[in-house]
Structure 1
Amino acid sequence: MRSPAMLRWAAALAVLLAVIAPAAGFYLPGVAPTDFAKGDPLQVKVNKLTSIKTQLPYTYYSLPFCKPTTIVDSAENLGEVLRGDRIENSPYLFQMREPKMCQIVCKVTITEKEAKELKEKIEDEYRVSMILDNLPLVVPVTRQDKSTVAYQGGYHVGVKGHYAGDEKYFIHNHLSFLVKYHKDDDSELSRIVGFEVQPFSVKHQVDDKWNDVNTRLTTCDPHANKFVTREQPPQEVEAGKDIIFTYDVHFEDSEIKWASRWDTYLLMTDDQIHWFSIVNSLMIVLFLSGMVAMIMLRTLYRDISRYNQLETQEEAQEETGWKLVHGDVFRPPTNSNLLCVYVGTGVQFFGMLLVTMIFAVLGFLSPSNRGGLMTAMLLVWVLMGLLAGYSSSRLYKMFKGSEWKKITLQTAFLFPGVAFVIFFILNALIWGEKSSGAVPFTTMFALVLLWFGISVPLVFVGSYLGFKKPAMEPPVKTNKIPRQIPEQAWYMNPLFSILIGGILPFGAVFIELFFILSSIWLHQFYYIFGFLFLVFVILIITCAEITIVLCYFQLCSEDYMWWWRSYLTSGSSAVYLFLYAVFYFFTKLQITKLVSGILYFGYMLLASYAFFVLTGTIGFCACFWFTRLIYSSVKID
């Protein structure tokens, strides 16, 4: 029989999942497609304006584009707001499988201020994002070898070039849309599988007088079979000038199935490079695994057998190596409270990434649900506060700590507090630039509510449960008087060994890191979570093995202060990650504005800090398991 309390908990959990799952983007694979009959209305939506030069998004209607009678904002999840997405309706209206030519949208007379803003956006190479049936708009571009076609997200607001001997700014005011559809064999219904555009800049001329959308143009007239071409005079951006916005729409039957329509966006990267990344990482893992196997199966086995065969204390005194420091190896380190906090936070990160990646690999995070991945990571991070509190308090109790509430508060506020301060400062800079990427006050309040309302209580619950359990007992007793550490060889210097230890974990992931940075800063799609999960597993193994190897060498040198060094050994890979981010900034990005540079380095510093906490915790846990294992295997009087 289930108790009423259990039923209430189950009901509460069901309600919580029902609320969180859609917001977080957890959708089962195979979401039902939309079928359109011929003549059905198709609403084109507009999204933010983006630029890889500034990294500052703006709303579509911040520029003097044609507006619908009423602007309606689409409902957005938490991840979309944090990404700066602002999805709104537009005056571009299609009818399914009914082509249109030279359709007039509106005429705009731009002011001096609007002309200045347009020129700035064209100078910074801003692109316009549109959406049809949840598919982003792309521009097909033929590669240099002319053998394949690449796709770029969105079209440029305009171009800067020479015309009639002068350098001028020209706006793309004519859009030639191509909607690809897949027709059902058994009915007249169709599904949209592609949304492309070719932008043009053309200085439209009115045939007689302006009559709104019914005006006849001499530059684009389907009745006279005259269509927009590249050879026509372009539309210059100049204050006081009229700009007429027009569009064509064509429909093309396609063999692409609805289930495969995202392949164009998700398979833009070369799989061979990803496989090269995996092979490169596996080579590192095999090398380290060989070293660990040699240490564990040969050296350690020989050491343990020899130590256990020693008959007298005098013989033991003559021995050197890791057994001699058994009385000090589990002595609590300096700043043990801070170590407990960092380990708890690292476990929280590990749980968040593992759960999110498993859902992504299984297909529960749909790419069509914009912001779903970020929302899921935030919500899972909040829920993983339970593991953070539990882990930090368990380690804290092993160090004979008694003030569990103090360690709980530090766990709940240290990393989130640092992240929130950096995020708040960067958000203030974005807000100062009047960018749509600035997080609104309501969203900021929601983030604080998630932190204080859910994460902090869960950390307290986990800490309470962890502190109630019996303390983990070390396999050997700790001496009251610390043993003197002998002088170490130059290669065992803490700084040297720590920096050496971070190279291999970074080397295992740096190729995949390039694609992740490109997806964030170059606005490219990244959805190869199968590769990413493999790299994540390789990262875990690499961090664990390199830390174990260096920890063994350290103990053999009779240096028992391994606690913090084991954390910093694999955690130092974050230093190389940040250095790579600096290299990526100067070699791949074209950022020139000071605010944009501050945003890049601010967010990459935060990402490197998170990577340090994650990899440091993995290395520490592996080393903790290793030391308990070897010291529990020898006979110590």
Structure 2
Amino acid sequence: MRLPHSFTLLSTFTTLSSAFYIPGWSIRTYKDNDPIPLQTNKISSPLTQLPYAYSELPFVCPAKKDGFGSRFGSRHVGLNIGEVLRGDRREISDYQLFMGKDVVCAHLCDAEMDAGTAATARRLVQEGYVAEWIVDNLPGATKFVALDKKKTYYAAGFKLGYNEADKAYLNNHVTFVLRWRKYNGDNNKKVIVAFEVYTKSIAGHQGKCPESLDDQPPLELALPQVPDPSSADPERTIDDPDGKIIIPYTYSVYWKEDNSIEWANRWDLYFVNDDESVSVHWLAIINSLVIAFLLTIVVAIVMLRTLSRDIHNYTDLDPETKSQPSSSNSGNLLESADDLDDTPGWKLLHGDVFRPPPLGGLFAPLIGSGIQLLVVIISLLLLSATGILNPSYRGGFLSFSIFLFVFAGLIAGYVSTRVYKTFSGTNWKKNALLTATIFPGFVFSTVFALNIFMWVQESSSAIPFTTILALLFLWAGIQSPLVYAGASIGFRAAPWEPPTRTTQIPRQPPSPETVKWYLRPLPLTLLSGLIPFAVIFIELLYIFKSLWADKSSYYYMFGFLAIVAVIFFVTVVEVAVVATYLLLCKEEWRWWWRAFSVGAGSAVWVAIYSAWYWVAVLGVRGWRSAVVYWGWMGLGCVVWGVMWGTVGVVASWVFVARIYRAIKAD
């Protein structure tokens, strides 16, 4: 299969702006007998993770140079960068659609299939591949009716064929049902409100339409049989290696007026908004609220009771004791540990708690990238919850993700440099370079490695070479200079002054034997990540289903997702605060990376959940799908960990600064 046409950076941004779509806007009207293009897109399967371009399949009708589709200009439809990344490959076909004109049956072409092509077709049918075609931005849908016959819903796409008694049959006849209504009551303007596709397998009508679509034998994907020359049994046959299968492609078109569907709500049928699903989401939110409420009580006890008692006990000490010079470093807030044995452990760490962490050159860029990701996620949730980003805007989610990530580089550079300067760093240009390259470079390298694999597999999800160049330009030509600009602004800003001074000689950290098991790095990360994960695991099931299992469905419950995200954010903050306080009480002053691992702990559970989903739910076939699944899920877990690890650090930083500022004020 050939790679599709490449896309330049300029066309990417042009398409991004022109494809902007909100239900109720961008209405396209037609008059009677207006030609309407039918676009073929990709085929995908719930059993594999490798989509392919429909127009590049070796057994379908190739587009004719002077065919019906040529009247619309270029057959290849310009795609935004999000569509390219998700594997869309749209091309205008030669199926002839005219507004309001019914076609009982029309012959498209006869395709020829040899042994190799037949094997490919059988494999795709056996793996349950579904084709997606598009008319007026609506995917062709398979219609389903609920058991109570009160609700109708759509599943995007239609099956290439079906299996029966170990035989594969190809659906070579399609019936299009297009529903329309008048636009604002104008008889001369009509809008399309639904696009349904019904398939059938019909054999024995090469070069023409069958006399009747009923009671026709199906088209089996089997080569003609010849006697087996290696067998003495004359009745034993094998596939003719030189045999051919002729596939006649035909179609029917029916237009139906339907005033029950508003144009602004025509996508609603693709969203299975049943009562059970809504109830599960509300139960998930209630579950999340209960967890967050219980955790809030724990934090309140720590903050209002334990901390208040700690600070009160400290303020009751003799002022001379608190100000007595220390043999190691005079002038500290707390000078003599011998005189303060009754004070809480965290009070003794005033000279070390704000000491720069090890690998600070990596820590600051990670925090900058984490804030960058957080800005992207918050923006996407707001745009999705308000309906600006929705499934009808194809590729919009990915396009806006890249756009926001690139321009949030300004914030990443600023935050990273402020953190770096807090740790007394002076080479801010080096820090800006690391911020612009470490995390974005890791993401790009992972995507590039997966893309090479997709190229080898000839999947439509392989990114064209010039799109790779466009992504490189976005990274090196726009994002990196923005990081540098943000770093320049951040370095000129006044450094953050910690409330206590750091001693010259580091305090001896507690020995591992004296630390409780649950405060050791690995158990602390796992336990701290489990609580936030419990908030989101139900919502993850729906997200995973739309991404990996049922590709004909769309995730659309962004309102629920926004609520759960807020609860999750609060939970991560509270867990980080409690974990950091427990570490400080045990005189563990090396809290920076611990706070990061606590915030990122839920990423470990997401990875574990991904493994369970792969084994127990997904049931995909082959190692190729495993490479795709684990490649993207591994990258997703790293992104998740960096983002929420940053939230854990910021929350702990604010908490630690607040409690030490409180004792300084006293």
1:65 aligns with 2:55: no
Cα displacement (A) at 1:357: 1.9
TM-score (norm 2): 0.86
- Which one of the candidate residues 530, 538, 546 is aligned to 1:511? 538
2:485 aligned residue: 461
Cα displacement (A) at 1:27: 4.6
Cα displacement (A) at 1:144: 5.9
Amino acid at match of 1:393: T
Cα displacement (A) at 1:492: 2.4
Question: 1:24 touches 1:372 (CA, 8 Å); kept in 2?
Answer: no
- What is the correspondence of 1:307-456 to structure 2 with a 5 Å cutoff? 307-312=314-319, 313=321, 316-456=340-480
Q: Which has the higher mean CA deviation after the structures are superposed, 50-59 or 136-145?
A: 136-145
- What is the correspondence of 1:470-549 to structure 2 with a 5 Å cutoff? 470-486=494-510, 487-522=514-549, 523=551, 524-549=553-578
1:12 aligned residue: none
Amino acid at match of 2:407: L
Cα displacement (A) at 1:114: 2.0
1:5 aligned residue: none
Instruction: Give the SS at the match of 1:139.
Output: strand
- Which one of the candidate residues 104, 108, 123 is aligned to 2:107? 104
Cα displacement (A) at 1:430: 0.8
Cα displacement (A) at 1:136: 0.5
Kindly tell me the number of residue pairs found equivalent between the two proteins.
601
- What is the correspondence of 1:5-154 to structure 2 with a 5 Å cutoff? 22-23=16-17, 26-27=20-21, 30-63=24-57, 64-70=59-65, 72-143=75-146, 148-154=151-157
Instruction: Give the SS at the match of 1:92.
Output: coil
Q: 1:24 to 1:563 in 2, by over 3 A?
A: farther
- What is the correspondence of 1:253-272 to structure 2 with a 5 Å cutoff? 253-254=257-258, 255-268=260-273, 270-272=277-279
Superposed CA offset, 1:567-622 (max 9, x none): 10121111111111111111222322212111100110000000000110001100
- Which one of the candidate residues 232, 238, 251 is aligned to 2:222? 238
Question: 1:106 touches 1:244 (CA, 8 Å); kept in 2?
Answer: yes
Amino acid at match of 1:99: D
Amino acid at match of 2:357: P
Amino acid at match of 1:592: R
Q: Which has the higher mean CA deviation after the structures are superposed, 422-431 or 487-496?
A: 487-496
Amino acid at match of 1:308: T
Cα displacement (A) at 1:631: 0.5
Q: Distance in 2 between matches of 1:44 and 1:272?
A: 38
1:303 aligned residue: 310
TM-score (norm 1): 0.90
Q: Distance in 2 between matches of 1:21 and 1:108?
A: 34
Amino acid at match of 1:65: V
Amino acid at match of 1:299: T
Q: Distance in 1 between matches of 2:159 and 2:478?
A: 42
1:573 aligns with 2:567: no
Q: Distance in 2 between matches of 1:479 and 1:410?
A: 29
Q: Distance in 1 between matches of 2:428 and 2:351?
A: 27
Q: 1:517 to 1:297 in 2, by over 3 A?
A: same
5+ residue gaps, structure 1, are 1-15, 221-227
Q: Which has the higher mean CA deviation after the structures are superposed, 366-375 or 255-264?
A: 366-375
Q: 1:373 to 1:216 in 2, by over 3 A?
A: closer
5+ residue gaps, structure 2, are 1-9, 70-74, 224-243, 322-337
Question: 1:519 touches 1:525 (CA, 8 Å); kept in 2?
Answer: yes
Q: Which has the higher mean CA deviation after the structures are superposed, 568-577 or 184-193?
A: 184-193
Amino acid at match of 2:663: V
Amino acid at match of 2:185: D
Instruction: Give the SS at the match of 1:634.
Output: helix
Question: 1:348 touches 1:381 (CA, 8 Å); kept in 2?
Answer: yes
Q: Distance in 1 between matches of 2:444 and 2:653?
A: 31
Q: 1:52 to 1:43 in 2, by over 3 A?
A: same
Q: 1:19 to 1:74 in 2, by over 3 A?
A: closer
Identity of aligned residues (%): 37
Question: 2:130 touches 2:159 (CA, 8 Å); kept in 1?
Answer: yes
Q: 1:441 to 1:533 in 2, by over 3 A?
A: same
Question: 1:40 touches 1:96 (CA, 8 Å); kept in 2?
Answer: yes
Instruction: Give the SS at the match of 1:481.
Output: coil
2:231 aligned residue: none
Cα displacement (A) at 1:21: 8.8
Q: Distance in 1 between matches of 2:41 and 2:128?
A: 16
